[in-house]
Structure 1
């Protein structure tokens, strides 16, 4: 018996469609099947596409759902399998299969080319709670087509494996509502080892209601969003390394982030203090400390203008500080005695001030919102008074700086330079430099600090130097002999020279550099006196300057310091670093080699032996003697006992954190073959290091093991171990840009799963 349907009409039947099939005009398809006495479809029904190919098979059985259903691609291969309940409803696994030829059938986008089959477990008409992917042969793969890793025991079977560029590679489990293309209900993530990474609860609309995040399997933060009020939420941040979660910071967000309260706790869970910011309107803002109003600002509708008024309150509620808008683009800040209300001191802000913008902020006298932590011991009331006085003193110091009399001996030097046209950081010339130089000679430390900042802003910028850098140094050097009666001023000028000589690019302008060194050189007798000071900082500073400017007396001084076994390891080791630069700068490396090579065999101090060996290897590199390399390997084995002295070798050690890292770099630059023997002991400790240490060590290790383009084609056991360790590092720090750059340099993927695949060959 054939179904009667008003939408069915006569149409020329394609030869591929059997006799008896009826055309359905509404759906542009041919139908063939039986119905029962109630005109209900039963048994197998076949559907042909309007283009003539067999399109769908539905088994209605006795007319009761579910109905086993298959769809086909135009080439006859299966496109879909599932249990159909009518309409758009499928329950249970719905399998979608790709095709080698063009097809109108749907297949999920954004999957890898190797994904041939996608399977979804539907629990409702529009919701599935599991997804699986397979290759053409039916092997389970990840969502991007790569083979699946081993599933940890605690990861449920319905979780699928997901990889995303520059993100963690994790096992994921949750229910997806296809109507909103988002998760609903509970959601979970685990890393490759089975440690929890994230847990969330989504609303039926796909909005996150609860969000828990983990680091190394331990709860690190959680976020709770109000079900009724989307503008309200709470977040919790936890202490690391605790046996059970302990809240470190609790944040309460209300009124769309316009009202935020942060509460800080110690490791026992005791509340330390709370801060709150509140925006009552775009021009009325408040800050609170421990629930009490600390300050509020009534801003001008004209952005960038002075506030109409700003008030700070003492803990008892009386006015502590306020700002009066004078109506002429100036404002007056006043500090009051909170018990008597009397003005203690005041200052006026005008547009002529360098820090005008900062001092027109209504909240300038309390810490920035991100400036608090669990170690903050000062209350906001205390901070307000301290910061007010700091700005007050700085303003007075600036006024004093600009009214200082210029000494005759300085004016003579200043007159030799055209400060309007000299090369400085700012293109408008260095007209302010004479004021800064003069301020450096002041007995008032506050004035000198402001002067120093003024100078640095013009003569150095991110390591770059200018003509003014050299000329300022020369003038300051010439001023030092004039201030024997003010040792503090002399030391201040010496420190300034020390910092200038340590700039990375100070050697680049050879003529100017040579001239500057010539001006500093006559200071050698005084610098040698400083070098013998009991104050280690003064002594180190003077010795560093002498390396670049000293002569025979300096050489003898440094030799004596190195050879004097009565001095401690730090003093003798520092002397070796100094001597090395002293000889190299003067093209006397042969003298250095002879001196150190002769002394090393009889030296008893372990740290001094290490420093000498390191300098010898750095000077000779690939021709370094085995005994020197062996000495470094011995130092590597006992590096922890050398770290304290090593930390005192700045600035010669740059950014190195310890002896271990320093030796690895020395070996990688000289004899990588020696270093490769030592790498294995480092690899297992990589994942536990801090991210910055990981950057340092991976740079060294990759330079040794993966600098060759064919390194990945010749996977030695140690290279495999390194790839696996690197994968663990990536898993822990999926978005750390500094690490990404290291991997990029050596063409290694910043993806944990791919690294593991490479290691497996």
Structure 2
């Protein structure tokens, strides 16, 4: 091999490793002192100080440009102990450097405790300042976070300190592993086995244990996991689930806050066709299934407490089956035969048809499974009998006349042939039997509305039921049922967008104005509000005057007056009379003394005028926002006018987002200061408004004012503390903002 000119004369070529070696050995041919190694390409590659021949040996490797690439204490073979530092180069190099680190990371250091195993990793910039694995400056290390821990940004998680021991042969952690958040609260604590498998896994929120997993050391499919109560001085399991036999045997145990067991439920799969359920360790039911999972069971038995038969199932061999309920003496009380014609056929052919669903238990469950079994059986039995009654009901002449005006075979409904049964459902809504009426209602709704989609049948059914209402003055319960139905219909999204069908429906309801006005002052406030809501759509001059009187009567409660304002607002809006609304409310606002009524009027005025809203109205809403707790009780009674916004502070924020940012920006500081104490969904709502006000302008990021800086730092704290915010990129993206804590802080300091 030709010697490169950079390699000294005494160096010996090692053909096996393609390198040149230079150093001395002792009388035992053992390397001692300083040895140098040159790469086959001629550059100085490695320096090893064998000293007196006893490890460790200080070792350095070099990049082709002569800069150090690796520095550590070598024990021979692949063994290093202590810090092993790896350093980048400015030039092309074959030397290894850990991938997937930030561009600002110049050196990585791993503290080895044994061959292939290190228990700490640290990263440094060019100036040897320690940084995160992403190259960001390190935050202040909390006192309880050990020096071993390194800082890392985890995707879809909080930014954390991490500490664990890594076995490079498997590329995974072994032994104990920890994560802490920026405040030093424990986020994760795990214990790994020597193969990198998890033995114990503990998850925390704000430092409090929330969930844990304990795995069987021999079979990870067997494990137990626990969910814990929040707010207890020490961790207390709320529910513990034990999985055995590859999850074919699962037991849930529920506990109160004192740690006392409440009850346990268990499901067991002995085979694909033999299954059992237990309550407090006692067998409740078992089923022997058919090999065809869509067929009825071969048999099923439910046991009373103590072991006697409570219910059994017989496969009749003809595609039907019979359930029988027994008393404690073994005498049959009721039987229920399942045929394919039953609407709930697929439910009733399940072996576990009468036991609570597995996900239906919680710490508030008070009914035992034995009690639930009897209740569910009787409920199905009563519903089946009610269906028979429904189909046997006589149709009144006045209803028959209405039904004959419509071709029910071809009417537009959810199912192509669903209209044929609608007359039966309409007739059932007029029954005095509440169970019959309930089944009739279900029959109607599954055909006339599906996930926001409306049909011609929606309007035809509602119009007919509206015309039925005068016929049932002798049956107030039936009339109330029809009022509730009309209320729900008119509250459907897009109900007023259906042209002639909607006009026909309102025409059918309009003659009921006088009757509904009587209902609108009913002693039952729920009934009164439903009637008032219907009048908003179908009322006329008498309704307008009624609503004005309701609002302006200071003898009424804040809730009653506020509901009247919402009603009157929609009454005018539906009739394109917003100018009337604006004139009426703006005049009354200045003299109104009731805080809730002022808030409602201000909200309606701001929604109506948007960017032209007056300062006084916006100031009223900001004042309401700061004191929203005082409005909560009244606001909760404003449904359905407030839609899906079920709390007043969110509603105010939605209204404010539609108004003038120049006024709002001056009042943002109080909102920002309130963020840390809020729960996460409330934080999201407030943060959206803060960002909308402060960063909507395209030039906002070029002018980081003190209030914008404060908002960015508050957002950074939220994203660092709450993992949920990392997933909510859409909060920040519309404003060109980063969604990671460090980037937000850097922007704030720009």
Find the aligned partners of 1:99 and 1:433 in 2 and give their Cα distance: 78
Deviation, structure 1 residue 639: 2.7
Q: Is the 8 A contact 1:695 1:738 kept in 2?
A: no
| CA–CA distance in structure 2, aligned partners of residues 575 and 170 of structure 1 | 52
Indicate conservation of the 8 Å contact 1:664/1:675, yes or no: no
Of residues 526, 538, 546, the one that matches 2:515 is 526
Tell me, yes or no, if the aligned pair for 2:182 and 2:721 is still in contact at 8 Å: no
User: Would the aligned equivalents of 1:215 and 1:732 in 2 still touch at CA under 8 Å?
Assistant: no
2:561 pairs with 1:572: yes
Kindly indicate whether the alpha-carbon contact (under 8 Å) linking 2:188 and 2:202 is maintained by their aligned counterparts in 1: yes
Q: Residue in 2 aligned with 1:630?
A: 619
CA distance in structure 2 between the aligned counterparts of 1:737 and 1:145, rounded to whole angstroms: 19
Q: Is structure 2 residue 26 aligned with structure 1 residue 36?
A: yes
- The superposition leaves residues 158-202 of structure 1 with CA deviations (integer Å, 9 ceiling, x where unpaired) of 100111221121100010011111111111111001111111221
1:672 aligns with: 661
In angstroms, what is the RMSD of aligned CA positions? 2.1
Matches within 5 A, 1:467-506: 467-506=456-495
Give the conservation status (yes or no) of the 8 Å contact 2:190–2:198: yes
Q: 1:644 aligns with which of 633, 656, 659?
A: 633
3-state DSSP of counterpart to 1:186: strand
8 Å CA contact retained: 1:54, 1:76: yes
> Would you say the 8 A contact 1:687–1:732 is kept in 2?
no
Q: Is the contact between residue 695 and residue 739 of structure 1 (CA under 8 Å) also seen in structure 2?
A: no
Alignment of 1:3-152 (within 5 A): 11-152=1-142
State the partner residue of 2:439.
450
- Verify the 8 A CA contact 1:166 1:751 in the aligned structure 2: no
The within-5 A match list for 1:298-697 is: 298-337=288-327, 339-428=328-417, 430-697=419-686
Cα distance change of structure 1 residues 730 and 426 upon mapping to structure 2, 3 Å threshold:
farther
Please give the per-residue CA displacement for 1:33-85, whole angstroms capped at 9, x wherever unaligned: 22121111122222222233322221212211111112222333322111111
Q: CA deviation at 1:548?
A: 1.0
Does the 8 Å CA contact 2:192/2:200 hold for their aligned counterparts?
A: yes
Which sits farther off after the overlay, 746-755 or 267-276? 746-755
Alignment partners' CA distance in 2, 1:534 and 1:515: 31
Deviation at 1:429, TM superposition (A): 5.3
Conserved? CA contact 1:530–1:539, under 8 Å: yes
1:641 is displaced (CA, Å) by: 2.0
Residues 554-593 of structure 1 deviation map (CA, whole Å, 9 limit, x = unaligned): 0111111112222111111111111111112212222222
In structure 2, the CA distance between the partners of 1:719 and 1:311, relative to structure 1 (3 Å rule), is: farther
Q: Secondary structure at the match of 1:294?
A: strand
Summarize the Cα distance change of 1:577–1:318 in structure 2 as closer, same or farther, 3 Å threshold: same
Q: Is the 8 A contact 2:181 2:187 kept in 1?
A: yes
Question: What is the count of residue pairs matched by the alignment?
Answer: 750
Q: Which residue of 2 aligns with 1:5?
A: none
Contact 1:68 1:82 in 2 (8 A): yes
Q: What is the DSSP-based 3-state SS (H/G/I as helix, E as strand, rest coil) of the residue aligned with 2:516?
A: helix
* Native 8 Å contact 2:178 2:188 kept in 1: yes
- 1:206-285 equivalent positions in 2, closer than 5 A: 206-285=196-275
Give the unaligned 5+ runs of structure 2.
Answer: none
Shift, 1:616, TM fit: 2.2
User: 1:540: how far off?
Assistant: 0.3
Q: Compared with structure 1, are the counterparts of its residues 708 and 19 closer, same or farther at alpha carbon in structure 2 (3 Å cutoff)? A: same
The CA distance in 2 between the partners of 1:244 and 1:700, in whole Å, is 37
- Deviation string 1:369-426 (CA, Å, 9 cap, x unpaired) is 1211111111111111111111111222223323333333333333333333333333
Query: Where does the alignment leave 5 or more consecutive residues of structure 1 unmatched?
Result: 1-10
* Shift in CA distance, 710/353, structure 1 to aligned 2, threshold 3 Å: farther
Deviation at 1:294, TM superposition (A): 0.9
TM-score (norm 2): 0.96
Cα distance between partner residues in 2 of 1:741 and 1:421: 45
Deviation at 1:220, TM superposition (A): 1.9
d(CA) in 1 for partners of 2:648 and 2:399? 45
Check 1:234–1:747 CA distance in 2 against 1; reply closer, same or farther (3 A cut).
Answer: same
Matches of 1:153 and 1:737, distance apart in 2: 26
Match of 1:3 in 2: none
Evaluate the alpha carbon distance shift between residue 694 and residue 450 of structure 1 in structure 2; reply closer, same or farther with a 3 A threshold: farther
Deviation of 1:711 (Å): 2.8
Asked if the contact 2:645/2:651 (under 8 Å) is kept, the reply is yes
Which residue in 2 is equivalent to 1:715?
704
- Contact 2:224-2:242 within 8 A present in 1 as well: yes
**8 Å Cα contact 1:71-1:80 kept in structure 2:** yes
Indicate the SS of the match to 2:251: strand
Residue-by-residue CA offset, 1:85-126 (whole Å, 9 max, x unaligned): 111001111111223333322221222222221110000001
Q: Do 1:470 and 1:516's aligned partners in 2 also have CA atoms closer than 8 Å?
A: yes
Secondary structure (helix, strand or coil) at the match of 1:422 reads coil
